[in-house]
Amino acid sequence: MDQLKRQAAARALEEVRDGMQLGLGTGSTAKHFVELLGERVAAGLKVIGVPTSEATRADAERCGVPLTTLDEIDHLDITVDGADEIDPELNLIKGGGGALLREKIVAAASDRMIVIADDSKWVPTLGKFPLPIEVIPFGLGATRHAIEKAFAACGVSGQMAVRKAKDGHVFVTDGGHWIVDAQLGRIADPASLARALSAIPGVVEHGLFIGLASSAVLAGGEGIRVIERRKPKGD
Ligand SMILES: O=C[C@H](O)[C@H](O)[C@H](O)COP(=O)(O)O
């Protein structure tokens, strides 16, 4: 599996050109991209990156990838990031590693988002992977109630749980928020659910990435597939 993730990362690296400003994703697949990018930088490639998490910042620094922020620059050429699920419209579930908020900000600031994954992430319909919803701890009971209403309005339902870290404490995101993971099973209309969740005041962001991915690089036993999004970015 790790080999497939690295192959997908290597294929995405072929899209990177000298002088590009890059969004650097988070997770085990994106980490391969950062490592391979570091090798190219050591060989003379001139790029600058914006990390989507503190973990990726540390990886990029270790690999010698020069970094900046979206305060210093306001636009990126390509973001390369992993995903937890990818559907045929290139809608995504992201946030299994808790980095969804910065990942979405960075993807939205990019001309192109290339998703890299092993082909186990390719699904006909999103929802088997628990949907991460980043919330403000204040008023969580009311926010959960509003989320349940949004689920009902969008024809989905399922158990919700506040994410815990390995040490048993509540998982806290890089932005200081909590994550509620929702076991929905099948999300028939991810765009409607994304809109409904975004309208809830206590929801900071959610892991549905709709219309952000430009292409997906999927590595499997039979080789690499590159799937391009048909609609323009944002649609
Ligand atoms: O918050 C984490 C990110 O959305 C990851 O890109 C996603 O969870 C996929 O991670 P991995 O490549 O480790 O499966």
SS (H, E, C) 83-115: CCEECCCCCEECCCCCCHHHHHHHHHCEEEEEE
Closest by CA position to 101, among listed 151, 69, 53: 53
Cα–ligand 1 centroid distance for 29 (angstroms): 7
What's the pLDDT at 235?
62
Residue 33 carries which side chain, given as an amino acid letter? F
Quickly state the pLDDT bin for 1 (edges 50, 70, 90).
confident
Mean predicted lDDT score pLDDT of the chain: 97
Identify the DSSP state of 33. Answer: H
Cα–ligand 1 centroid distance for 97 (angstroms): 5
CA distances to 137, 141, 148, 176, 231 from 26, in Å: 23, 29, 28, 17, 25
pLDDT in tens, 190-200: 999 999 999 99
CATH code for 131-206?
A: 3.30.70.260
Is the pLDDT reported for residue 232 higher than 70?
no
Ligand 1 binding pocket mutation candidate from 53, 79, 84 (most atoms within 8 A of CB)? 84
Quickly state the pLDDT bin for 230 (edges 50, 70, 90).
confident
Is the pLDDT reported for residue 233 higher than 70?
no
pLDDT in tens, 44-59: 999 999 999 999 999 9
Is this prediction's pTM over 0.90? Answer: yes
The domain spans of the chain are 2-123+210-228, 131-206
Quickly state the pLDDT bin for 103 (edges 50, 70, 90).
very high
Cα–ligand 1 centroid distance for 158 (angstroms): 22
Q: Is 97 in the pocket of ligand 1 (CB under 6 A)?
A: yes
ipTM of the assembly? 0.98
Is the pLDDT reported for residue 3 higher than 80?
yes
pLDDT in tens, 163-174: 999 999 999 999
C-alpha torsion sign, points 6, 96, 26, 77: positive
- Rounded Cα distance between 183 and 187, Å, is 10
Q: Which is the catalytic residue, given 35, 85, 103, 222?
A: 103
Q: Which atom of ligand 1 is nearest to the CA of 116?
A: 12
Fold for 2-123+210-228, please state it.
Rossmann fold (3.40.50)
Ligand 1 binding pocket mutation candidate from 1, 6, 24, 26 (most atoms within 8 A of CB)? 26
The dihedrals phi and psi of 36, each to the nearest 5 degrees, come to: -65, -35
